[in-house]
Structure 1
Amino acid sequence: MYQFMSSALAAIAFFVASTSPQMAKAQTPPIRSYQPKATETARNAQIQDQQQKAHPSRFDLKKYPIIDSNSEHWQDSLWAIGVLAPEETYALQALANVLQMTTAPNLTDPQKGIIDTAMQVGMQLYTLKPAVYGKLKPYFVRTVNESSDSQWIALSLSALAKSTDPAQSLSKAQLDKLILKIQQRFPNWQQDLHLRATIQTARNDNSNQGSTMPNLADLLKWQIAPQQSHMYVLCRPNREVLCLAIVKDSNGKFLKRGKQLWSVPLLLQSLRNLDWYFTNGRTPQGIYRMEGVSLQPDDELFHAYGQFSLVNLFMPFEDGVQAFLPNQKGKFTGNLQSYQALLPPTWRNYQPILQSYWAGNVGRSLFRIHGSGAAIDFFRNKDKVVKAKYFDWNATLGCLSALELYDQRGSLIKADMPKILDALNTVGKGKVEGFLIVVDVPSTSNEPITVDEVAKYLN
């Protein structure tokens, strides 16, 4: 989920990575009906902290040169720009000062980490606030033409291709010229996931996407492995709308509440407006191992995850899983054909469902289902990546986001994580264990998939 990040995010990632999966019943600490960090005063203090970290004085290159010893300073400050999305020249210049380094020789790892953050924040603001950040275009073009880092090149091309601002958008001929330059500079570009996927997306090339989505009924009836619980998270290709999670037990029976199919809404959108193959991009489609929980009783991490336990998800090739496949200890290490064999025959050549395989292969990791203790308007550019009617859910850096709401007094209004943990324990007979499958279900309505729509595939 996270790679290069600010010190605050690094602490969050360390918490998730270092917390041993709890395989017993996923008990959470008692629900706190009052949370002091959710009060209006605490919310304002959190924003003030970000405003201080994004203050123009913190981007003074003479006082804070972009060197290893200032890595934490720059990471925190760039993160704050991404949070606040200020429509200010100084923020634009701060990003430009870092982005011009993408072609510099002999960069250190801490410097590369600073550039990674600037690339992602720059891409986010370039595509979502072009009136101010459209002026970053020359830095993206220069990166495509001259940088030796394929991920920075892919991010730059993605930003340029996604721009909808008439003043900054590239013509098809201009975009094709940049793509040709990449292919000439990287003869093996098809073996690089970031370049290959970005070029396909930029060209709107669906030739490798399979013809149409196979019958969803085949996927919902399939057992990846015997006697395993399954959670299905059904989304729309437009991740600005909510997804729908449903679960079935080890015997293949879907959980119901009364006569109604049990379900809960989740948001699987990227705060950065990044595609699935980028670190911090939206949640990839495909298979994940669901194994235990990470307890979350710590107020220091409340803003990131809320007050409830997180469900641990593991991608293919990811370390830390006890057994990706039952009766086979350790992580998934098979080839593509081994992964495809986990799918029903009608789905094995459908390229989107292979995303988690490819994303895991390039190192994406640390996915979780979690709530959020952050205010719903904490990320000031959120209205550009989440539709207004679903604004109560917070987008993430790749994780699956559950509803968790507090009022101005810090009182809990509503939270879906307890429902999710209870449902998974029910179908898992006291354990959170099994498989999670994410799949986008196309629709002309651009509305979330409904329980009634899913029910048609279960008859």
Structure 2
Amino acid sequence: MNLRPLLALLTLALAACAPLQPPQKPPEKRYTAAELLALQPADFAWPATSQEGERALRGQALADIRAVLSLPPGPERDAALPQLFGRVAHHNAEVSAARTLLLEALPTLGQRDAEYQRALLTAAHTLYPAESAPLLWPLLPQLTASKPFAIAAYTLLQADPGAVPRLLDLVQRQFPGWADDARLTALMLRLRPSAAAQPPLPDLLAAPLRPGFAVVYSLQRPGRLQMGLALVRGADGRFVRDASGQLFTSPQLALARTSLPGTITNGNTPQGLFTIVGAGTATNPSIGPTPYLHSKLPVEATVAEFEHADAAPAAAWSEAVYGSFLPESWRRWLPIHEAWLAGRAGRDDIIIHGTTVNPAYYAGTSYFPGTPQQGCMVSSESWDPATGRLLASRQLTLAQAYAAASAREDLAGYLIVVELPGEGPVTPAEASALVLAAAR
């Protein structure tokens, strides 16, 4: 088993759940509906999911982490910190040992560029919010870019929900034009939440969006710390059911390792409307070879891609164009516009995919057996520890349910991510009740 290419891939810093295309890899495979429907789990293998492959990859990652931890203070160690904390979070390893390096670096971030700030502040939010909070208050006035500022603010809110008044005042003084910045708009919505009640979910499930296209609905809990469910509505407007007549549902996690909001790089999947423009096989080592559904945000996708039009519509992107896809009762409910804000903020490559990450890393969590990654919607898969061959895949089942319901070889359609109030994992019974109400 040759693990060298996979070891090389592991060293890449992943900016999103994007399908990586290293130079040594051929272009990814794209699928028609017919090709997707013909696939079986046995068609796929991924050496890194075998016991031998996983041991080798984890061993290399731990060696890389410890090599950085052993570096003396100086430019070489500073340059290695962004990748270090990414690996620490991914492998949940050497968290305590790396803490001191982060806490020492935080007061110096005012002299760093925005991307370096983003990486270390993300580590603070993900791994050390309580310990980092005292160091972030004096740092905030030095953060002139909205993304690092917002990450620091979310970290302070995580450590102390009572920080709201102070942060409200600081945002308005430090960024008087905050309303023109999507990240700061989202932050202000968090600081000043709307009192409006969520519109009826059956309205959203029954919404035509654009007639004749299939839709994936991803029902998630607020906070994303529980498993959600994916449903599929066919091009004919009816929800997919199994042979026994039961509603098709597939567990899905829309939680990022960072737990940051959807307008922030590598944050949770934003709530709202996406377009689906096909299916492909990624080369990202954490996603693996199972076909993903290629979803795109507004702005990332053109209006034409959202309309699935042969010719580009005359209208440019605007919040009104985004709202035109939603039912009237949902158009003015701001949380469902998070996807619009995320697209404006530059997020992209948030796709519907499987996973090669061992769920055992997350045993004991509220979302087990889910495996959070970098902001995409992730379905569980089972891989043979002896051979690395795919045994079962909820991702493949979901993608094929969508392909069968789409009636389009190009797999064009839509995705809606919406939060369902409540506690615990989203259940098939909840989904069935909502679908029944939507049909009335």
The TM-score range, normalised by the shorter chain, is 0.7 to 0.9
CA contact under 8 A between 1:244 and 1:265: conserved in structure 2? yes
Match of 1:206 in 2: 193
Question: What residue number does 2:74 align with?
Answer: 62
Q: 1:346 is matched with which residue: 306, 317, 329?
A: 329
Q: Which runs of 5+ in 2 are unaligned?
A: 1-9
* CA-CA distance at 1:153 after TM superposition: 1.5
Partner of 2:4: none
**Equivalent pair of 1:23/1:291 in contact (CA under 8 Å):** no
Q: Secondary structure at the match of 2:196?
A: coil
Could you tell me which residue of structure 2 aligns to residue 49 of structure 1? Answer: 60
Q: Does structure 2 conserve the Cα–Cα contact (< 8 Å) formed by 1:238 and 1:446?
A: no
From 123, 140, 143, the equivalent of 2:136 is 140
- Structure 1 counterpart of 2:426: 448
Aligned to 1:226: 211
2:276 aligned residue:
290
Within 5 A, what are the aligned runs for 1:106-117?
107=112, 111-117=113-119
Residue in structure 1 matched with residue 123 of structure 2 by the alignment? 121
CA displacement at 1:267 relative to structure 2: 0.5
Change (3 A) 1:235 1:102: same
Who is 1:421 aligned against?
399
CA distance in 1, matches of 2:363, 2:63: 23
Which stretch of structure 1 is more off in the superposition, 338-347 or 53-62? 53-62
What CA distance in whole angstroms lies between the structure 1 residues aligned with 2:389 and 2:19? Answer: 28
| RMSD of equivalent CA atoms | 3.0
Matches within 5 A, 1:257-406: 257-258=242-243, 259-296=245-282, 301=284, 303-319=285-301, 323-327=305-309, 329=311, 333-378=316-361, 382=362, 386-387=365-366, 390-406=367-383
After superposition, the Cα gap between the structure-2 partners of 1:10 and 1:448, relative to the gap in structure 1 and judged at 3 Å, is: closer
Q: Is the 8 A contact 2:254 2:268 kept in 1?
A: yes
- Counterpart pick for 1:153 among 146, 149, 153: 149
Cα pair distance change 1:359/1:403, threshold 3 Å: same
Residue 131 of structure 1: aligned partner: none
Q: In 2 relative to 1, CA 282–265 (structure 1 residues): closer, same or farther, beyond 3 Å?
A: same
Q: Is 1:230–1:436's contact at 8 Å kept on the other side of the alignment?
A: yes
CA contact (8 A) 1:236 1:449 kept: no
- What is the CA–CA distance in structure 1 between the aligned matches of 2:16 and 2:127, rounded to whole Å? 25
**What residue is the counterpart of 1:239 in the other structure?**
224
Cα distance in 1 for residues equivalent to 2:53 and 2:29: 30
Q: Residue 96 of structure 1: SS of its match in structure 2?
A: helix
* 1:278-335 deviation per Cα after TM superposition (whole angstroms, max 9, x unaligned): 1111111111111111224x5xx4x411331111001111158972212254698421
1:17-49 deviation line (CA, Å, top 9, x unaligned):
975854553438663476432222222222222
C-alpha contact 2:252 2:379 (8 A) present in aligned 1 = yes
Tell me the distance in 1 between the aligned counterparts of 2:255 and 2:171. Answer: 28
Is 1:188 the equivalent of 2:188?
no
Structure 1 equivalent of residue 89 of structure 2: 82
Question: 2:242 is matched by which residue type in structure 1?
Answer: R
Among 100, 106, 124, the alignment partner of 1:99 is 106
What SS is found at the alignment partner of 2:279? Answer: strand
CA distance in 1, matches of 2:19, 2:324: 33
For residue 305 of structure 2, give the secondary structure of its aligned residue in structure 1.
coil
CA contact (8 A) 1:116 1:152 kept: yes
Q: In 1, Cα distance between the equivalents of 2:230 and 2:419?
A: 12
SS at match of 1:241: coil
Amino acid at match of 1:349: R
Encode CA deviations 1:180-233: one digit per residue, 9 max, x unaligned. Answer: 1332122222333323322442x4x322xx621222222122211121111111
Q: Which moved more, 1:336-345 or 1:14-23?
A: 14-23
Name the stretch that deviates more: 247-256 or 409-418. 409-418
Structure 1 distance, partners of 2:16, 2:217, is 30
Sort the Cα spacing of 1:315 and 1:88 in 2 relative to 1 into closer, same or farther, 3 A: closer
Q: Would the alpha carbon gap of residues 159 and 246 (structure 1) be closer, same or farther in structure 2, given more than 3 Å must change?
A: same
Question: Equivalents in 1 of 2:333, 2:185: separation in Å?
Answer: 17
**Counterpart contact for 1:268–1:395, Cα < 8 Å:** yes
- Decide whether aligned partners of structure 1 residues 225 and 112 sit closer, same or farther in structure 2, where only a CA change above 3 A counts: same
TM-score, length-normalised on structure 1?
A: 0.81
Which of residues 34, 37, 47 is equivalent to 1:25? 34
Deviation at 1:453, TM superposition (A): 2.7
31 and 189 in structure 1: CA distance in 2 versus 1, 3 angstrom threshold: same
Q: Quick one: distance in 1 between partners of 2:139 and 2:34? A: 49
TM-score by length of 2: 0.85
Q: Which amino acid aligns with 1:206?
A: P
Give the count of matched residue pairs: 417
2:414 to 435, 438, 449: 435
Aligned counterparts of 2:293 and 2:417: Cα–Cα separation in 1 = 15
